[in-house]
Structure 1
Amino acid sequence: MLKTLNEKIKMLSESAKYDISCSSSGSSRSNKNKGIGNASSGGICHSWTSDGRCISLLKILMSNDCIFDCVYCINRRSNDINRGTLTVNELVNLTIQFYKRNYIEGLFLSSAIFINSDHTMEKMYQVVYKLRKEHKFNGYIHVKAIPGASIDLIRKTGFLADRMSINIELPTQKSLRALAPQKSKENIFKPMKFIGENNLMIYQDKKKFKNTPKFVPAGQTTQMIVGASPENDHMILNLTEALYKKFHLKRVYFSAYVPINDDPKIHFSGKIQRNREHRLYQADWLLRFYDFTVDEIFDKSNNFLNEYLDPKTFWALNHLEYFPINVNKASYQELLRIPGFGIKTCRKIVSARKYSTITYDELKKMGAVLKRAKYFIEVPGLKIGGVFRDPEILKNHFISESKNKSAKLIPLFTGKELELPNAY
């Protein structure tokens, strides 16, 4: 067991890096009563705010002295590693001193489960309570909810924190039993449901009563490990979609499994699946902001996302009957389906076309990503021959781009038909 504060800080901050569910968007806690700190609605934890600032937080575990033996975790009970636990006062003083030195603007506090779930959650609550009430700290605070902790402790912490999260870790009960036998689906979903329902209730009360206290104002998040268990992408995204609908999560994070422990129970392919993680985030974006469903994102032949094509392009190539889309006539929902068009671009189009016909050059000025979109749209100033609408030609073109091969882009033409490049 480590003794010195410096040793504990170094170890516990290093151990915290495996938890990535620490975005802070959505909180607007302001300073008051001559306190210190100020939580921005833009976010913390090395996140970019809406005005371009990058702000940071202290991300640390309270303890790595875990009583659980989760196969995928560096802090599992059976691992022979140095252990350490920060006291409540050490964490409070550390946060305040780091803030005063302008190192941080907030705190992300997690912990291994030491002694038991309630004891761990109680200590974390005490940290947040002292920061808020005794030190008048109004900076951003994200606290991890401990599986199995009492709902009363979750509730008390929720009225002080900006965001809370409880990690699902694995997509199915079967994998949870195999790799984290001391955790249960019930202990994870119970606090998640409580936070989600109370968040909605507080939101409704605020419409009637201005002085309604804030409860987890930045919402809750969770994290799933990708590549430690055999679930396919379709199963992972089905769970993701259900979490958004049932528990009103702010965001689901995906973390490619890093082989920390050598254990035959782990379903590891031998390669850290960063690209798969990236594709899951892209698909998650489609679920949250682009009105896609999980079943639309996949085709019947494969339950994994395409390695070389982003999910929106993959869907478009499988549904060319909807394209080309007339930019000047399509609805907002139809515009969202165009590969390369983001939410801001679609909003600009809907707003601008009220006053004049949008041309290809005007789309460029709007910042639309036309490198991909040009094959799926109809707009004055752009012409692409029918042969370029062939799904296999387009698919090969996009895959070649993804693989960073030397294949040239299909050129636009004005006037006469162009011959296909040799690569096609």
Structure 2
Amino acid sequence: MDDRITEKLKILADAAKYDVSCSSSGGKRKNDNKGLGNAEGMGICHSYTEDGRCVSLLKILLTNFCIYDCAYCVTRKSNDIKRAAFTVQEVVDLTINFYRRNYIEGLFLSSGIFKDADYTMERLVRVAKKLRKEHKFNGYIHLKTIPGASEELIKEAGLYADRLSVNIELPSEKSLQQLAPEKNYSEILLPMSNIQKQLMQAQEEKKLFKATPIFAPAGQSTQLIVGASVENDHQILQLSDQLYKGYNLKRVYYSGYVPISNDSRLPVIHEPPIIRENRIYQADWLMRFYGFNVQEIVDEQNPNLDLQIDPKLGWALRNRHFFPVEINTADYEMILRVPGVGVKSAKKIVSARRFAQLNFEHLRQMGVVLKRAKYFITCQSKSLQRQDFDSQAIKRRILFGDGAVRSTLLTQQLDLFRQVG
């Protein structure tokens, strides 16, 4: 690789790190034509497969030149950074060469906006088309869809890419207008809608014609930036819920805002809100896999997630009247709501109790985290822990342990005696 390409790669790979909306989950592109690569049953972008194997992708921008001046974006046109751009053939060559060296198993390709949306989108599509058609590349490809691009280009992109994504970026139109006034929600939501329609159409046609071309088999995703604007967690999760229901998104990715400028429109922070980002991901997981709705997790009275504890524990502490749950008789949906019980553990419980009454040792062997669960369950009407603790006491015990709580209570009692004396 010559020095010019190496320099471009360094610049455009570094710029791409701010986009977290990449995953190959759901991709089923088989290698059945003696080509290169295979996206069958594997994740991409330093994700981990079920057997613990780490897989990776080449994650780059086509260019960091951009006509937009979004306050939160490192590639905005007013930012004084070194600029670079790949040609279509350079990206193709990098992907093939990196794959042959076993560096990657796929490609995530995004871009700043060259001249306009169609001009940029056309080049992204050409990269994917060359890889598929000329090099018979069957590895994973994720293309970033450019807001404002034509429906025809989006349709063509879906024929070659495993996943498409359109970054909505900010949780409200108001914040978008404040921080990225050249963008608007309608231009972002329109391609999402077009992708959804194409996905549904491809599914219907597949039922009638086996030879129907696949369209973005891993679906579509988006990214929301957390902490660059004033929206609370309730507003963020409400938007995510609407996107899942309205556009059938596979994933909404959340990215803690990384401070990159002194723009007065942005909040003054010294590091990304990583804990908040993590709690929002956990809440998102509850909505998608645990049967929770947004209003149960956060609402107008509690608009932000508790940063000290995970959202499921937070819900359980606010709803003590549902507990304790008898593990041997409760339905699957209620077992899922017990803190410390995951989806796999809940399924094991429901399956195993058909053959025998379960006890706490059985639960431990199934992967239940009894440190949390013991305050909310019984087994054969027996409990590992007193059930009369108030919610704050349970929270303290889970966070600091029983010994730390006893020490705290003793200190408080001594202070009280000193005051009385």
The letter for the 1-side match of 2:388 is V
Distance in 1 (CA, whole Å) between partners of 2:42 and 2:4 is 35
Q: CA deviation at 1:128?
A: 0.3
Aligned to 2:168: 168
Helix, strand or coil for the counterpart of 2:59?
strand
CA-to-aligned-CA distance 1:354-403 (integer Å, 9 cap, x gap): 11111111111111111101110011464322433x222112323446xx
Aligned to 1:343: 343
The letter for the 2-side match of 1:204 is E
Report matched runs for 1:344-363 at 5 Å: 344-363=344-363
Distance in 1 (CA, whole Å) between partners of 2:13 and 2:270 is 27
Helix, strand or coil for the counterpart of 2:142?
strand
**Do 1:159 and 1:216's aligned partners in 2 also have CA atoms closer than 8 Å?**
yes
Q: CA deviation at 1:222?
A: 0.5
Helix, strand or coil for the counterpart of 1:315?
helix
Aligned to 2:388: 387
Distance in 2 (CA, whole Å) between partners of 1:212 and 1:341 is 42
**Do 2:142 and 2:164's aligned partners in 1 also have CA atoms closer than 8 Å?**
yes
Distance in 2 (CA, whole Å) between partners of 1:62 and 1:229 is 27
Distance in 1 (CA, whole Å) between partners of 2:91 and 2:184 is 29
Aligned to 1:234: 234
Distance in 2 (CA, whole Å) between partners of 1:55 and 1:244 is 26
- Relative to structure 1, is the Cα distance of residues 148 and 423 closer, same or farther in structure 2, using a 3 angstrom cutoff? farther
**Do 1:283 and 1:311's aligned partners in 2 also have CA atoms closer than 8 Å?**
yes
Unpaired runs of at least 5, structure 1:
402-406, 412-418
- Relative to structure 1, is the Cα distance of residues 83 and 299 closer, same or farther in structure 2, using a 3 angstrom cutoff? closer
Aligned to 1:148: 148
Distance in 2 (CA, whole Å) between partners of 1:237 and 1:196 is 20
CA-to-aligned-CA distance 1:210-256 (integer Å, 9 cap, x gap): 22221110111110111111011100000000000000000001111
Does the alignment pair 1:16 with 2:16?
A: yes
**Do 1:44 and 1:56's aligned partners in 2 also have CA atoms closer than 8 Å?**
yes
Match of 2:403 among 408, 413, 419: 408
The letter for the 2-side match of 1:241 is D
Distance in 1 (CA, whole Å) between partners of 2:300 and 2:178 is 29
Report matched runs for 1:97-176 at 5 Å: 97-176=97-176
**Do 2:371 and 2:398's aligned partners in 1 also have CA atoms closer than 8 Å?**
no
**Do 2:234 and 2:300's aligned partners in 1 also have CA atoms closer than 8 Å?**
no
The letter for the 1-side match of 2:372 is R
Helix, strand or coil for the counterpart of 2:285?
helix
Q: CA deviation at 1:166?
A: 0.7
TM-score by length of 2: 0.93
Distance in 2 (CA, whole Å) between partners of 1:166 and 1:123 is 16
- Relative to structure 1, is the Cα distance of residues 200 and 409 closer, same or farther in structure 2, using a 3 angstrom cutoff? farther
Aligned to 1:250: 250
CA-to-aligned-CA distance 1:38-97 (integer Å, 9 cap, x gap): 113231111111222111110000000111100111111011111111001111011001
**Do 2:259 and 2:269's aligned partners in 1 also have CA atoms closer than 8 Å?**
no
The letter for the 2-side match of 1:327 is I
Q: CA deviation at 1:34?
A: 1.5
Instruction: Give the % identical residues.
Output: 53
Report matched runs for 1:265-284 at 5 Å: 265-284=265-284
- Relative to structure 1, is the Cα distance of residues 205 and 354 closer, same or farther in structure 2, using a 3 angstrom cutoff? farther
User: Which segment is superposed worse, 205-214 or 284-293?
Assistant: 205-214
Aligned residues: 409
TM-score by length of 1: 0.93
**Do 1:309 and 1:398's aligned partners in 2 also have CA atoms closer than 8 Å?**
no
Aligned to 2:377: 377
Distance in 1 (CA, whole Å) between partners of 2:411 and 2:242 is 42
Distance in 1 (CA, whole Å) between partners of 2:45 and 2:392 is 42
Aligned to 2:325: 325
User: Which segment is superposed worse, 68-77 or 210-219?
Assistant: 210-219
Q: CA deviation at 1:290?
A: 0.7
Q: CA deviation at 1:421?
A: 6.4
- Relative to structure 1, is the Cα distance of residues 236 and 182 closer, same or farther in structure 2, using a 3 angstrom cutoff? same
Aligned to 1:415: none
Unpaired runs of at least 5, structure 2:
413-421
- Relative to structure 1, is the Cα distance of residues 375 and 420 closer, same or farther in structure 2, using a 3 angstrom cutoff? farther
Helix, strand or coil for the counterpart of 1:96?
helix
- Relative to structure 1, is the Cα distance of residues 188 and 138 closer, same or farther in structure 2, using a 3 angstrom cutoff? same
Distance in 2 (CA, whole Å) between partners of 1:76 and 1:386 is 55
Distance in 2 (CA, whole Å) between partners of 1:325 and 1:12 is 52
Q: CA deviation at 1:420?
A: 10
Aligned to 2:213: 213
CA-to-aligned-CA distance 1:317-352 (integer Å, 9 cap, x gap): 010000000111111111111011110001111111
- Relative to structure 1, is the Cα distance of residues 135 and 248 closer, same or farther in structure 2, using a 3 angstrom cutoff? same
**Do 1:227 and 1:269's aligned partners in 2 also have CA atoms closer than 8 Å?**
no
**Do 2:396 and 2:405's aligned partners in 1 also have CA atoms closer than 8 Å?**
no
Aligned to 2:415: none
